[in-house]
Amino acid sequence: MLRGLSSAVRRGRTLYAGRSLHITARICLNGIVNQDVQIAEEKPRAIFRTSESNPANHTEQHDCQHYSIPLEEVKVIFPHGLPRRFKEQIETFKEACLMVRKPAVELFGYLKSTNFAQPAIRYVLYGESGTGKTMTLCHAVHYCAKQGWLVLHIPDAHLLVKNCKQLLQSSYKTERIDQPLQASAWLKNFRTSNEHLLREIKTQQKYTWNKWDSTEEGRPLVEMVEQGITRMKTATDVVGAVLKELKRQCSLGSFKLLVAVDGVNAFWGKTTLRKRDKTLVSPEELALVHNLRKMVMNDWSGGAIVTTICQTGSVFKPRLAYLPHELLGDEGFSALEPFVPIQVPKYSEKEFESCYQYYLDRKWLQHEKARTPDGRAELLFLSGANPAQLERLAAML
């Protein structure tokens, strides 16, 4: 190595004097191995990772870069709501990395400039299946949670309208139907994510659940939620009451509310549930859906409503439908109108490259051909730049 250096120096000296100095300096620099390696390590990391972990500071400058959420925050903010495959990925990689994409940055721009005196604006994230609508919603939830908003996150509204084992006739209104399991599970997760805020908010009226249980006025909402979790039969009514309280009190301005619903098209469609007499249940007969529909209305102020419309879990909708009108139907569209549509597209070239580099960095792509440009072209073609397809392909390699 030294011989090479000295010969290079000699060669350098034969050239123009000033340049030779530059050359020798460069050679010396290159000779130091550590620095070389450091430079090489930092450069690829800079492309697809950012160290900015507060979504409030995510701008277009961080476009296509992955930021990681600390795992303790994930447990608190996302007890439910992350897609199943992403949860498995978190377990495998021991880190939760989300890509900052243009639709999310656009949404943050809108959220930052909301006028809380005006009625809540509805944002509808739409796009083809597998393009990242749920992940964008989770990004928004993280942002609002960091800002201190109270987050009402319904992970998948489709789960309320299908595969429900227990249906009870509501004691509050006889024509409505209760879903105790779903309601109590949701209340548990709701309490986990918003514990500190729920302790401060107080009820403004007395609620009588049944002959033995009631909640007085002025009690913290946490108590009501605990009541719903312990007594499953009253869970649906508790949910209804909680939503009513939050709506009423949010307009007063003591806290900001984010209503995040994934698959809002489930509220205005059909269900696969049947009553005892084998007649079909329509969504408004379900108490949970009825109350949530009221929540998604823009007759309250002091927050925002971010929703996604999803074909993947929907019932009786064609596979290739993704536009709002197709999935919401006339009823849903007129109910949600006016809303701000935000399209979530497939990966662009830059986003694909970022995702690909991330998988390579995590050593997720084990196939030796995956590192070659040919392999990359093959991945791009077979996934069609669709994030979900790419993730499934990468899992196979």
Partner 1 sequence: MAAAVRRVLWLSGVSGAARARPGAQTLRLICTSTAVQNRSHIPGPPVYTQDFIKEQTEEFNLGKRHLANMMGEDPETFTQEDIDDPKELFPSKSVCQWGEDGRPFHFLFYTGSQSYYSLLHEIYAKLLRIQKYEDEMRAQGSFPGTGNELKLIGSRWLIKEELEEMLLDKLSDQDYSLCIRLLERLVASPCSGIEEEYMAKFRRGYVVQVQRFMNEPLQYDEQGVAFSTGEGKRKTARATVIVYDNGSGKITVNGVHYIHYFPILQDREQLMFPAQFLDRLGKLDMVCTVSGGGRSSQAGAIRLAIARALTSFSTKNEVECMRQAGLLTSDPRLKERKKPGQEGARRKFTWKKR
Cα–Cα distance for residue pair 263/161, rounded to 1 Å? 11
Between 55 and 130, CB nearer to partner 1:
130
* Contact between 395 and partner 1 per CB under 8 A: no
HSE value, Cβ hemisphere, 13 Å, CA-based, for 258? 32
Other C-beta atoms closer than 10 Å to the C-beta of 394 total: 22
Instruction: Provide, rounded to whole angstroms, the least separation between the CB of residue 125 and partner 1.
Output: 20
* Distances in whole angstroms, Cα of residue 172 to Cα of each of 177, 271, 291, 354: 10, 22, 13, 52
Cα–Cα distance for residue pair 236/238, rounded to 1 Å? 5
Q: How far is CA 47 from the centre of its chain?
A: 23
Instruction: Provide, rounded to whole angstroms, the least separation between the CB of residue 47 and partner 1.
Output: 20
Instruction: Provide, rounded to whole angstroms, the least separation between the CB of residue 244 and partner 1.
Output: 42
220 burial type by CB count under 10 A (0-12 exposed, 13-18 middle, 19+ buried): middle
Between 90 and 385, CB nearer to partner 1:
385
Cα–Cα distance for residue pair 21/233, rounded to 1 Å? 83
Instruction: Provide, rounded to whole angstroms, the least separation between the CB of residue 377 and partner 1.
Output: 5
**Which one among 265, 292, 389, 394 touches partner 1, defined by CB under 8 A?**
389
Site string for partner 1, 320-359 (x = CB under 8 A): x---------------------------------------
Between 130 and 302, CB nearer to partner 1:
130
* Contact between 318 and partner 1 per CB under 8 A: no
Cα–Cα distance for residue pair 1/5, rounded to 1 Å? 6
Name which of residues 117 to 146 contact partner 1 (CB under 8 A). Answer: 128
Cα–Cα distance for residue pair 254/282, rounded to 1 Å? 36
The residues, ordered by sequence, that sit 6+ positions from 160 with a Cβ below 8 Å of its Cβ are: 179, 182, 266, 286, 288, 289
CB 289 within 8 A of CB 183: no
* Contact between 200 and partner 1 per CB under 8 A: no
Instruction: Provide, rounded to whole angstroms, the least separation between the CB of residue 384 and partner 1.
Output: 4
**Which one among 5, 23, 297, 393 touches partner 1, defined by CB under 8 A?**
393
| DSSP-derived 3-state class of residue 290 | helix
Instruction: Provide, rounded to whole angstroms, the least separation between the CB of residue 381 and partner 1.
Output: 5
Name which of residues 368 to 387 contact partner 1 (CB under 8 A). Answer: 374, 377-378, 380-382, 384, 386
* Contact between 397 and partner 1 per CB under 8 A: no
Between 50 and 389, CB nearer to partner 1:
389
Size of the site for partner 1 (CB under 8 A): 13
Residues in touch with partner 1 (CB under 8 A)? 128, 319-320, 374, 377-378, 380-382, 384, 386, 389, 393
